[in-house]
């Protein structure tokens, strides 16, 4: 009659997609903020402009998180269905995160 | 060896009659008091179809006007109202309610529940929608209809350029209808997660249920944005709080952000349930299970998330940073992947089975064709450079109709044909159905295909006429002819509907399609006689004799165990039975609550403030009357549902269904608040020099610390009260009541103190965008504090009435959840308005 608590189980199922959402919102807000401040956006760190740098760092963090989640999911002994949806979500999120980082490297910044 | 069934035969005499008696359905004018999903669901779908027809008539008027150049059938002002109303009614009164209605109707059947967990909430959502919708539509006849386009961009829609009540009709009407949609969404989330057939674990959940779960989740996170937007614009119109006025530090783009944060997910909010229905019908028509079930579920979840990354893609032409546009363009393309997965799953299913060429099948194929075309033009406009060209031309009108009609109208028609035998004594005519399909399919293509060309030839959208020498004449004439073909198809459909629709839950036409899911089990007013144990995704295909076993009462709960309406609440993952929920029967309470809530909003729209307040008070009274006999307590003891399972009839805490509803409601509130904080920070990015405006000094930090301390003390006191609920039948409520009321005093004081300090600082809401958002944050808090005040007094009244104690405590628990939320919001709000300006160097 009793099953493992719902919230952590459900969050794990959606974890990849949640990381994607956090990353997307993060880079969007970051770009918005930076572009609103002309004095900030021209700054650079070790020769790399802060705008793409920040986005790439966020991407790296998101990818590390996704890898950790995948390891966690594999260790959690999920059933076939939950395992598939969890890992699938993580992979989909990984692709989407990378895909969305491309503009940071190619698009014209704040123009 | 198969497991024995939970209940033996023969069933005791009178058992079925007793079950029928508690589920008896009101008829005649008492239908207004019905709360059962099978009745409300049918009315709900029917009303959505009504609005489709009404908005369709407006479309015909527009197409008649545009048939020839220089026409004077309708003038410019009326044309503006027509397209605004057509778009708004189609999106808000047809598309979203139609899929929500299908959810209310189908979910309990697909999950073999006797009803969804909050039947009166569904009834409330339905009546609110019907009444609000009809009045909203009626505004057209008084020339009061909104005319600012379906997305109502300010400054055009603010008080300067749109004086008069027209825009208010949109803002209050839509705000209100969205609230009804949220009520429905809460019902759907809790329903999908907690009222399933035993054994129907998440991996056996029908795809439509998954789609509705994601749909409802998206409503919870998307609709608050538009509710907040309408609220802010209404504040600007009524009290001149300048959220969207650039000269005063507001910004028109703020509206666009909030609107499209809702508006783009909205497209998927409409599309996902439609796709969910397709995933139910394709396997039934091809007589084989859906190929790639797990992938489809993943795709639905993925779409739900990714679609939120799209809001700015309606604003490519507004001068947002290039890189941000890049992010959104990327997300726009990424979301095509999950949609593609679903399309491939359907095609593979069709290929692996033997497709029967029925009317639902025709509509499904029509859907695939039209939607794919709409998707192709969608990928075109997702490219930023192309969008700059096609923006605001007829190309967009064509694209959006292909997507919406393909993605939603065709699946809905397929669904109506498909599920008609479930709700009605007769199925719809297959012969007429083919005509309906033919007329609509050809009609849609004849209407909208030429509009791509007209758009590329430069015809802008939203023009009431055009000169004869631009080369657009033939295209427009053809387009109008197509629109009349669609109308003919719809008329034929309505004719058939009038002939064949005879709603009933017993003696329906039955499983004509030999489908495999639970909604095709034999039913009565009580849904299925006994609640089946499910071991497969298509139980009727894989569990032989299931229908017969269920009907003879051999599965769970073949009776009314307490003499009231009941259903089984199951655990969210594995669908293990947890307790038996007692459900309300027919009741006028939710109906009156809906009537007076609608009255409140409508009277406010026409500025009859006193009457509006009276109506609001009556609505509140009706809600309290409705609530009063919820939380029935453990008086009915435990009941035996068969198979040795004895379940409680009352639980509290996280296992209780109402706990879930409160948590979802808190999420809605939290999203609204997050959108408001977004507005605050957004205005800061455009006008940092006004944070705060010159001449305004921030209120001191000590009073702010006092406010925070009061909130925290209030939180501790309610928790203390929760630990001192009186033992059952002891009547010792003194400590509880004292702590509760003190906690309330602390909460109210904190909010009032904050407001008073802010006012003393000289900041005024009407003078700057900064002031407006600061006061909006504080006033939203006031609204929540007022809500908590009512809830606290209600909780206290229940204690005094002997309806609340340490065991029978759900009322308190619900209040407590919302209380904690309100404190959290208060602390964050105070933190932002007092600390942020200091952080950026002001004060
Ligand atoms: C059934 C046949 C339909 C016809 C003949 C039709 C016709 C039209 C026409 C003539 C316009 C105005 C174009 C302009 O002047 O710019 C329009 C706009 C629009 N339609 Fe439809 N429509 C139909 C169905 C639908 C459906 C099913 C939906 C949504 C579910 C829908 C949503 C819209 C929207 C959102 C607009 C834009 C309104 C605006 O510009 O503010 N339409 N339609």
User: Which CATH number fits the domain that encloses residue B771?
Assistant: 1.20.120.80
The residue range of the domain holding B723 is 656-839
What pTM, to 2 d.p., does this model score? 0.93
- Our answer on whether the CB atom of B460 is closer than 6 Å to any ligand 1 atom is no
Q: Is the ipTM of this complex over 0.85?
A: yes
Dihedral, CA of residue B476, residue B482, residue B488 and residue B493, to nearest 10 = -130
B597/B147: higher pLDDT: B597
Burial class (CB in 10 A: 0-12, 13-18, 19+), B294: middle
Burial class (CB in 10 A: 0-12, 13-18, 19+), A105: exposed
B277 and B345 together in one domain: yes
> Of the given ranges (B183-187, B390-394, B633-637), which has the lowest mean pLDDT?
B390-394
* A3:B329 CB<8 A: no
Answer yes or no: is pLDDT of B813 > 90.
Answer: yes
With respect to residue A1, please indicate whether it lies within any of the assigned structural domains: no
What residues of chain A, 19 to 58, have a C-beta less than 8 Å from chain B?
20-21, 24, 27-28, 31-33, 35-37, 51, 55
Range B626-631 average pLDDT: 88
Answer yes or no: is pLDDT of B371 > 50.
Answer: yes
What local confidence, expressed as pLDDT, does residue B596 receive?
Answer: 95
Domain boundary at B614, B648, B682, which? Answer: B648
With respect to residue B505, please indicate whether it lies within any of the assigned structural domains: no
C-beta separation of A103 from B327 below 8 A? yes
B134 and B263 together in one domain: yes
User: pLDDT tens digit string along B229-246?
Assistant: 999 999 999 899 999 998
Q: How many domains, chain A?
A: 1
What local confidence, expressed as pLDDT, does residue B842 receive?
Answer: 61
Range B555-575 average pLDDT: 93
CA neighbor of B707 nearest in space, from B756, B779, B759, B774: B756
What local confidence, expressed as pLDDT, does residue B329 receive?
Answer: 65
Answer yes or no: is pLDDT of B263 > 70.
Answer: yes
Contacts of residue B301 in chain A, CB cutoff 8 Å?
A: 14, 17, 85, 89
C-beta separation of B206 from B107 below 8 A? no
Answer yes or no: is pLDDT of B397 > 50.
Answer: yes
With respect to residue A5, please indicate whether it lies within any of the assigned structural domains: no
Q: Is B322 on the interface with A (CB under 8 A)?
A: yes
Burial class (CB in 10 A: 0-12, 13-18, 19+), B498: exposed
Q: And the tokens for B684?
A: 């800061």
Dihedral, CA of residue B275, residue A91, residue A89 and residue B345, to nearest 10 = 30
What local confidence, expressed as pLDDT, does residue B319 receive?
Answer: 45
pLDDT band at residue A6 using 50, 70 and 90 as cut-offs: confident
* A21:B308 CB<8 A: yes
Answer yes or no: is pLDDT of B479 > 90.
Answer: yes
What local confidence, expressed as pLDDT, does residue B619 receive?
Answer: 96
Peptide bond into B644 cis (omega under 30): no
With respect to residue B576, please indicate whether it lies within any of the assigned structural domains: yes
With respect to residue A3, please indicate whether it lies within any of the assigned structural domains: no
Answer yes or no: is pLDDT of B293 > 60.
Answer: yes
Map residue B565 onto helix, strand or coil. Answer: strand
Map residue B357 onto helix, strand or coil. Answer: coil
Of A32, A84, A92, the CB nearest to B302: A92
B368 and B263 together in one domain: yes
B276 and B409 together in one domain: yes
Answer yes or no: is pLDDT of B143 > 80.
Answer: no
User: pLDDT tens digit string along B716-749?
Assistant: 999 999 999 999 988 889 999 999 999 999 999 9
With respect to residue B356, please indicate whether it lies within any of the assigned structural domains: yes
* A88:B326 CB<8 A: no
With respect to residue B159, please indicate whether it lies within any of the assigned structural domains: yes
> Of the given ranges (A42-51, B216-225, B431-440, B750-759), which has the lowest mean pLDDT?
A42-51
With respect to residue B11, please indicate whether it lies within any of the assigned structural domains: no
Nearest residue (CA) to ligand 1, atom 36: B87
pLDDT band at residue B103 using 50, 70 and 90 as cut-offs: very high
Dihedral, CA of residue B118, residue B124, residue B129 and residue B130, to nearest 10 = 120
First to last CA, chain A: 59
Range B794-816 average pLDDT: 95
With respect to residue A6, please indicate whether it lies within any of the assigned structural domains: no
Residue to mutate, B62, B67, B90, ligand 1, most ligand atoms under 8 Å from C-beta: B90
With respect to residue B37, please indicate whether it lies within any of the assigned structural domains: no
With respect to residue A2, please indicate whether it lies within any of the assigned structural domains: no
Per cent of chain B over pLDDT 90 is 70
User: pLDDT tens digit string along B313-370?
Assistant: 444 444 456 666 666 666 666 777 888 899 999 999 999 999 999 999 999 999 999 9
Distance CA B434, CA B365 (A): 13
Domain boundary at B598, B621, B648, which? Answer: B648
With respect to residue A69, please indicate whether it lies within any of the assigned structural domains: yes
In angstroms, the Cα distances linking B305 to A16, A21, A45, B335, B815 are 10, 7, 33, 9, 31
pLDDT band at residue B476 using 50, 70 and 90 as cut-offs: very high
Answer yes or no: is pLDDT of A36 > 90.
Answer: no
- Our answer on whether the CB atom of B83 is closer than 6 Å to any ligand 1 atom is yes
DSSP string, B514-535: ---SGGGS--BTTBSSSB----
pLDDT band at residue B478 using 50, 70 and 90 as cut-offs: very high
B682 and B701 together in one domain: yes
The CA distance from A18 to the nearest CA of chain B, in Å, is: 8
For chain B, counts of helices (H) and of strands (E): 26, 4
The H-assigned helical ranges of B637-700 are 657-686
B517 and B463 together in one domain: no
pLDDT band at residue B688 using 50, 70 and 90 as cut-offs: confident
Range A12-30 average pLDDT: 90
Q: How large is the greatest C-alpha to C-alpha distance in chain A, in angstroms?
A: 60
pLDDT band at residue B826 using 50, 70 and 90 as cut-offs: very high
Per cent of chain B over pLDDT 70 is 95
Strand duo A48-49 + A44-45: pairing: antiparallel
In angstroms, the Cα distances linking B817 to B120, B570, B629, B715, B820 are 22, 22, 20, 11, 5
Highest mean pLDDT: which range of A38-42, B89-93, B330-334: B89-93
Q: How many domains, chain B?
A: 3
Range B624-651 average pLDDT: 90
Answer yes or no: is pLDDT of B186 > 60.
Answer: yes
Residue to mutate, B60, B401, B464, ligand 1, most ligand atoms under 8 Å from C-beta: B401
Q: What SS3 string covers B172-196?
A: HHHHHHHHHHHHHHHHHHHHHHHCC
Q: Is A80 on the interface with B (CB under 8 A)?
A: yes
B611 and B480 together in one domain: no
Domain boundary at B648, B683, B698, which? Answer: B648
B666 and B599 together in one domain: no
B400 and B364 together in one domain: yes
What local confidence, expressed as pLDDT, does residue B1 receive?
Answer: 40
The strand ranges marked E within B547-662 are 565-570, 577-583, 638-642, 645-648
Range B580-598 average pLDDT: 91
Nearest residue (CA) to ligand 1, atom 27: B405
User: pLDDT tens digit string along B491-537?
Assistant: 999 999 999 999 887 888 889 999 999 999 999 889 999 999 999 99
* Residue B191 CB contacts under 8 Å (≥ 6 apart), including other chains: B107, B108, B111, B113, B116, B117
The residue range of the domain holding A99 is 13-106
B549 and B404 together in one domain: no
With respect to residue A27, please indicate whether it lies within any of the assigned structural domains: yes
What local confidence, expressed as pLDDT, does residue B330 receive?
Answer: 65
What local confidence, expressed as pLDDT, does residue A109 receive?
Answer: 65
The CATH number of residue B479's host domain is 1.20.210.10
What local confidence, expressed as pLDDT, does residue B318 receive?
Answer: 44
Range B112-130 average pLDDT: 92
B761 and B667 together in one domain: yes
pLDDT band at residue A29 using 50, 70 and 90 as cut-offs: confident
With respect to residue B26, please indicate whether it lies within any of the assigned structural domains: no
Mean pLDDT over all residues of chain B?
A: 90
With respect to residue A75, please indicate whether it lies within any of the assigned structural domains: yes
B145 and B170 together in one domain: yes
Question: Closest-CA residue in chain B for A34?
Answer: B685
A4/B680: higher pLDDT: B680
Distance CA B495, CA B680 (A): 53
Q: Is A10 on the interface with B (CB under 8 A)?
A: yes
* Residue B774 CB contacts under 8 Å (≥ 6 apart), including other chains: B680, B758, B763, B765, B833
What local confidence, expressed as pLDDT, does residue B334 receive?
Answer: 72
With respect to residue B433, please indicate whether it lies within any of the assigned structural domains: yes
Q: How many CB atoms lie within 10 A of CB B387?
A: 21
């Amino acid at each position: 009659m009793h099953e493992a608590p719902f919230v952590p189980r459900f969050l794990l199922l959606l974890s990849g997609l949640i990381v994607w959402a956090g990353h997307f919102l993060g880079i969007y807000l970051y770009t918005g903020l930076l572009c609103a401040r002309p004095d900030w956006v021209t700054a650079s760190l070790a020769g790399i402009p802060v705008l793409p740098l920040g986005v790439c760092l966020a991407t790296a963090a998101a990818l590390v998180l996704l890898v950790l989640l995948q390891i966690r999911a594999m260790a959690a002994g999920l059933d076939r269905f939950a395992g598939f949806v969890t890992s699938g979500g993580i992979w989909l999120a990984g692709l989407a995160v990378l895909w969305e980082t491309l503009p940071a490297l190619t698009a014209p910044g704040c123009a | 060896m198969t497991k024995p069934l939970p209940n033996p035969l023969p069933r005791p005499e009178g058992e079925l009659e007793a079950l029928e008696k508690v589920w008896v359905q009101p008829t005649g004018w008492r239908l207004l008091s019905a709360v059962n999903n099978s009745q409300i669901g049918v009315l709900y779908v029917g009303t959505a179809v009504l609005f489709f027809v009404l908005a369709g008539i407006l479309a015909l008027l527009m197409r008649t006007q545009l048939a020839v150049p220089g026409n004077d059938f309708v003038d410019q002002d009326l044309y503006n109202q027509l397209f605004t109303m057509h778009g708004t009614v189609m999106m808000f009164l047809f598309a979203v309610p139609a899929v929500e209605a299908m959810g209310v109707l189908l979910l309990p059947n697909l999950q073999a529940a006797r009803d969804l967990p909050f039947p009166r909430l569904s009834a409330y959502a339905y009546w609110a929608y019907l009444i609000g919708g009809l009045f909203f539509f009626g505004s057209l006849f008084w020339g009061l209809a909104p005319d600012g386009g379906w997305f109502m961009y300010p400054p055009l829609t603010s008080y300067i350029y749109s004086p008069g009540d027209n825009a208010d009709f949109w803002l209050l009407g839509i705000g209100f209808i969205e609230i009804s949609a949220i009520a429905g969404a809460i019902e759907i989330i809790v329903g999908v997660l907690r009222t399933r057939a035993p054994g129907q674990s998440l991996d056996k959940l029908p795809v439509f249920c998954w789609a509705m779960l994601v749909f409802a989740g998206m409503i919870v996170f998307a609709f608050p944005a538009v509710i907040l937007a309408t609220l802010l614009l209404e504040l600007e119109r009524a009290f001149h709080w300048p959220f969207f006025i650039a000269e005063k530090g507001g910004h028109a783009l703020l509206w666009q952000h909030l609107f499209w944060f809702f508006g783009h997910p909205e497209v998927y909010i409409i599309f996902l349930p439609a796709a969910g229905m397709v995933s139910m019908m394709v396997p039934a028509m091809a007589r084989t299970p859906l190929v790639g079930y797990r992938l489809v579920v993943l795709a639905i979840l993925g779409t739900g998330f990714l679609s939120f990354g799209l809001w700015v893609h309606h604003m490519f032409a507004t001068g947002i940073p290039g890189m941000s546009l890049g992010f959104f363009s990327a997300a726009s393309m990424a979301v095509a992947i999950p949609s593609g997965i679903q399309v491939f799953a359907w095609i593979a299913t069709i290929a692996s089975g033997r497709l029967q060429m029925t009317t639902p099948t025709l509509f499904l194929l029509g859907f695939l064709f039209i939607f794919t075309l709409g998707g192709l033009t969608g990928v075109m406009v997702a490219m930023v450079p192309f969008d700059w060209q096609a923006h605001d031309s007829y190309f967009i009108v064509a694209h959006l109709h292909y997507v919406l009609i393909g993605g939603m109208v065709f699946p809905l028609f397929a669904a109506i044909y498909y599920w008609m035998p479930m709700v009605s004594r007769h199925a719809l005519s297959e012969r007429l159905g083919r005509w309906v399909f033919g007329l609509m399919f050809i009609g849609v293509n004849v209407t909208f295909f030429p509009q791509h060309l007209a758009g590329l030839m430069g015809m802008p959208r939203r023009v009431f006429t055009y000169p004869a020498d631009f080369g657009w004449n033939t295209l427009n004439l053809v387009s109008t002819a197509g629109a009349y073909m669609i109308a003919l198809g719809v008329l034929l459909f309505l004719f058939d509907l009038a002939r064949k629709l005879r709603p009933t839950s017993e003696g329906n036409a039955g499983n004509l399609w030999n489908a495999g899911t639970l909604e095709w089990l034999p039913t009565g007013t009580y849904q299925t006689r006994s609640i089946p144990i499910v071991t497969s995704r298509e139980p009727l295909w894989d569990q032989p004799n299931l229908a017969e076993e269920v009907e003879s009462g051999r599965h769970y709960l073949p009776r009314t165990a307490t003499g009231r309406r009941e259903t089984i609440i199951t655990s969210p993952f594995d669908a293990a039975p947890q307790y038996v929920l007692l459900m309300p029967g027919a009741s006028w309470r939710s109906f009156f609550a809906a009537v007076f809530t609608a009255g409140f909003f409508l009277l406010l729209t026409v500025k009859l403030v006193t009457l509006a307040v009276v109506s609001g008070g009556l609505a509140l009274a009706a809600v309290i009357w409705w609530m009063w006999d919820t939380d029935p307590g453990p008086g009915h003891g435990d009941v035996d549902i068969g198979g040795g399972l004895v379940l409680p009839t009352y639980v509290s805490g996280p296992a209780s269904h109402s706990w879930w509803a409160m948590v979802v409601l808190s999420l809605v509130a939290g999203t609204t608040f997050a959108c408001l904080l977004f507005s605050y920070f957004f205005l800061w990015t455009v006008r940092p020099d006004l944070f705060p405006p010159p001449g305004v000094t921030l209120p001191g930090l000590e009073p702010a610390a006092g406010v925070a301390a009061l909130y925290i003390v209030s939180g501790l006191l309610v928790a203390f009260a929760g630990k001192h609920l009186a033992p059952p039948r002891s009547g010792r409520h003194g400590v509880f009541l004292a702590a509760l009321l003190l906690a309330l005093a602390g909460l109210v004081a904190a909010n009032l103190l904050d407001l008073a300090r802010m006012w003393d600082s000289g900041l005024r809401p009407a003078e700057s965008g900064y002031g407006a958002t600061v006061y909006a944050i504080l006033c939203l808090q006031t609204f929540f504090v007022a809500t908590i005040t009512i809830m606290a007094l209600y909780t206290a009244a229940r204690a005094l009435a002997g309806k609340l104690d340490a065991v029978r405590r759900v009322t308190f628990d619900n209040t407590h959840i919302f209380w904690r939320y309100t404190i959290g919001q208060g602390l964050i709000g105070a933190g932002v308005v007092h600390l942020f300006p200091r952080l950026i160097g002001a004060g």
